[in-house]
Amino acid sequence: QVQLVESGGGLVQPGGSLRLSCVASGFTSDSDYYAIGWFRQAPGKEREGVSCINTRDGSTYYSDSVKDRFTITRDNAKNTIYLQINNLKPEDTALYYCATQRFRGPRALCVFGPRYWGQGTQVTVSS
């Protein structure tokens, strides 16, 4: 049973930073689930794949809306994926989810979506 547990969300002022974490477990075959990503959904908007990473080689994908402000990294020893968010804007307010699916690389995962989701962590940007 794939499990993804997010943490690190909170209330931040515009211009601030946050680092989200996602601990992954339960993979029956690590070789199948080689990409993990971050998605977000704001009220009244569709879910968006913002950043995904290949846990083997570290290659990444970012949506155009978050390039230059978001950085995704991984620590394979800790089975953890991080999302560093800088220069937060009110429009970044959303529920952020960690997600994965077998046999999908970073771009495909972010663009076409995953099967397995975490519970999400709320990010609110407000003064």
Q: How far is CA 29 from CA 66, 85, 103, 111, 118, in A?
A: 31, 30, 11, 23, 19
Mean pLDDT throughout 41-63?
Answer: 94
Residue 109: is its pLDDT beyond 70?
A: yes
What is the predicted pLDDT for the residue at 99? Answer: 96
How much of the chain exceeds pLDDT 70, in percent?
97
Distance CA 35, CA 53 (A): 5
Mean pLDDT throughout 57-86?
Answer: 94
Residue 25: is its pLDDT beyond 90?
A: no
Residue 6: is its pLDDT beyond 70?
A: yes
What is the predicted pLDDT for the residue at 29? Answer: 65
Residue 30: is its pLDDT beyond 70?
A: no
Query: How does residue 123 score in pLDDT terms, banded at 50, 70 and 90?
Result: very high
What is the predicted pLDDT for the residue at 1? Answer: 84
Query: How does residue 31 score in pLDDT terms, banded at 50, 70 and 90?
Result: low
Distance CA 10, CA 29 (A): 33
Mean pLDDT throughout 1-30?
Answer: 91
List residues bridging with 115 in a β-sheet: none
